[in-house]
Amino acid sequence: MALIDTFLSRGVKRGTLTLTDTNGTRSFGTAEPGWPDVAVRFTDAGVGRYIATHPRLGAAEAFIDGRLVLERGDIMDLLSLLRRNNRWDKGGDIKDASALSRGFGALKGRLSRLNWERKSKANVAHHYDLDERLYRLFLDADLQYSCAYYTDPANSLEQAQADKKAHIAAKLALKPGQRVLDIGCGWGGMALYLHQKTGAEVLGVTLSEEQLRVARERATAAGVADHVKFELIDYRRVQGRFDRIVSVGMFEHVGPPHYRQFFSKVHDLLTEDGVALIHTIGRMGSPGTTDAFTQKYIFPGGYIPALSEIVEASEPFRLIATDIETLRLHYALTLRAWYARTLAHQTEIEALYDARFYRMWTFYLAGAATAFEDGGLCNYQLQFARDRHALPITRDYLGEAEVRLK
């Protein structure tokens, strides 16, 4: 039996995968209602062995290069089939077949987490300095490139992203006249929202020149550039004191070697009664490593933290974890919405880049969506305060604030 056949016979029990390669056509799994039915074709004899021995990167590169072709279903269906048969919360996981490969990958992962300032800027540019038009094709109009908040799974992406901003703003418990620092401000949507809803003075910082340009243009167009400012600066270089700090989708780029440095800086930048809200993709269970595909193609230097890593790093600086929320399925819904919009704009994306880039981008979104549905990923929102009296003693204020903000 070919190595790929062994891999698929073990990995696909429910749902069906039909494979055609130079050895012929065969099927794996058992058809069930509601489970994917996928057919793939390998275009050359070397594809199967490479995927079987490098399951985290081999399938991705074969698909990106056009050597793995979907003939029934799409890449979301294929990855969902594999993930659902190996659910994280049922004890499953998709790992490299080789122990040597895993060990080498772990070493590379640890080295990649060293995000010195110059390297951090290069890593950010790799992803966030892509053409603004790409992001406008699949994000909401406010360019929110992070997990939305679905008060109802049937809500539109636009509604869910608006609800996310209200949810975060409520946790910041902003008061009139306060100053806010937005670490990793993206294209400026959160900063502009906080000023619009609360009148806060906001400084957004980013390492992406493309995001900085767009954010400043948006502030100028809204007539609030004197109140919502954006700077190209590493958070480690920010000076001053802020009543509130918000960071959405940036902590994934800090890296464990720098976690204590991050929280030390947050502590120093907060006023005595200051509050911080960190929104990050999280890893359920214990610490791990960044998968090969994400490290190579999407977020070099990125690392998804376990909850224990975040909390432990904050403890030496006497930051009180006043609220911790786990968003289990919200990012899966967000990513599926982005994926659907990406499929709808295939022609435009291929015109901006090419067909290979388009396949890479769909693999990225599909892989991420299935990791939140059946893998070990979630989102954490962690609220920190320097003073135990800085916030109300119950969570009732959150719901009340969200109603006002909406």
CA dist., res. 2 & res. 125, Å (int) = 41
* Residue 161 pLDDT: 98
Question: Which residue type sits at 79?
Answer: L
CA dist., res. 177 & res. 3, Å (int) = 64
CA dist., res. 368 & res. 229, Å (int) = 32
* Residue 3 pLDDT: 87
Average pLDDT on 313-320 reads: 97
In sequence order, the β-bridge partners of residue 383 are: 277, 323
Pairing of strands 179-183, 201-206: parallel
* Residue 301 pLDDT: 87
More confident residue, 240 or 124: 240
Average pLDDT on 324-332 reads: 98
* Residue 54 pLDDT: 83
More confident residue, 118 or 225: 225
Domains of the chain, residue spans: 3-97, 113-405
* Residue 96 pLDDT: 40
DSSP state of 306: B
340: buried, middle or exposed (CB in 10 Å: 19+, 13-18, 0-12)? middle
- Using the predicted structure, report yes or no on whether residue 387 has a pLDDT greater than 60: yes
Least confident range from 41-50, 52-61, 182-191: namely: 52-61
Question: Which residue type sits at 13?
Answer: K
Which 3 state secondary structure label does DSSP give 172? Answer: helix
Judge contact between 321 and 263, C-beta under 8 A: no
Structure confidence at residue 219 as a pLDDT band (50, 70, 90): very high
Average pLDDT on 188-199 reads: 97
Structure confidence at residue 102 as a pLDDT band (50, 70, 90): very low
- Using the predicted structure, report yes or no on whether residue 58 has a pLDDT greater than 80: yes
DSSP state of 151: S
Question: Which residue type sits at 254?
Answer: V
Tens digits of residue pLDDT in 260-313: 999 999 999 999 999 999 999 999 999 999 889 999 988 888 999 999 999 999
Structure confidence at residue 90 as a pLDDT band (50, 70, 90): confident
* Residue 299 pLDDT: 85
Phi, psi of 378 (to 5 degrees): -155, -170
- One fold for 3-97 and 113-405: no
For 256-290, b/e burial (b = at least 16 CB within 10 A) is bebbeebbbbbbebbeeebbbbbbbbbbbeeebbb
Q: Any idea what the Cα angle at residue 26 is, between residues 25 and 29, rounded to 5°?
A: 150
Judge contact between 381 and 171, C-beta under 8 A: yes
In sequence order, the β-bridge partners of residue 202 are: 180, 228
- Using the predicted structure, report yes or no on whether residue 19 has a pLDDT greater than 70: yes
Judge contact between 93 and 59, C-beta under 8 A: no
- Its CATH class, for the domain covering 113-405, is alpha beta
- Using the predicted structure, report yes or no on whether residue 232 has a pLDDT greater than 70: yes
Q: Any idea what the Cα angle at residue 225 is, between residues 221 and 227, rounded to 5°?
A: 135
Judge contact between 94 and 367, C-beta under 8 A: no
- Give the start-end residues of each E strand in 219-340: 228-232, 242-248, 270-283, 320-327
Q: Among 1.10.1760, 3.30.1490, 3.30.465, 3.30.1050, what is the CATH number of 3-97?
A: 3.30.1050
Average pLDDT on 390-400 reads: 95
Which 3 state secondary structure label does DSSP give 348? Answer: helix
Three-class HEC string of 378-390: EEEEEEEECCCCC
Tens digits of residue pLDDT in 70-82: 999 999 999 999 9
* Residue 128 pLDDT: 67
More confident residue, 321 or 103: 321
CA dist., res. 327 & res. 338, Å (int) = 18
Question: Which two tokens mark 112?
Answer: 């990649």
- Using the predicted structure, report yes or no on whether residue 103 has a pLDDT greater than 70: no
Tens digits of residue pLDDT in 125-135: 667 668 899 99
- Using the predicted structure, report yes or no on whether residue 112 has a pLDDT greater than 60: no
Average pLDDT on 323-333 reads: 98
299: Cβ contacts below 8 Å, ≥ 6 apart = 123, 126, 127, 252, 253, 290
Average pLDDT on 26-47 reads: 96
Q: The tokens 């594999």 sit on which residue? A: 82
Average pLDDT on 215-222 reads: 98
Which whole-number Å values give the CA distances from 342 to 194, 310, 334, 347, in the listed order?
29, 32, 12, 10
Tens digits of residue pLDDT in 342-376: 999 999 999 999 999 999 999 999 999 999 999 99
